Amino acid sequence: MKKLSTIMAAGAIALTLSSSAFAGPVGVPRTYATQVDPQAISELQQASEAAQREARTGNKDNLAFGQKSYQIDSLIGRMQSGQPVDQAQIDNALQPVRVW
Q: Give the separation between CA 67 and CA 59, rounded to whole angstroms.
A: 14
Above 70 in pLDDT, residue 34?
no
Please state the pTM of the whole predicted model: 0.59
Q: Give the separation between CA 12 and CA 17, rounded to whole angstroms.
A: 9
Within-domain flag for 100: no
Within-domain flag for 15: no
Within-domain flag for 1: no
Tally of domains within the chain: 1
Within-domain flag for 52: yes
Within-domain flag for 88: yes
Question: Which structural domain range is residue 39 located in?
Answer: 28-93
Within-domain flag for 9: no
pLDDT tens digits along 54-80:
878 766 657 888 888 889 999 999 888
pLDDT tens digits along 13-30:
776 766 665 565 565 555
Within-domain flag for 20: no
Residues 31, 37, 39, 41: is their CA dihedral positive or negative?
positive
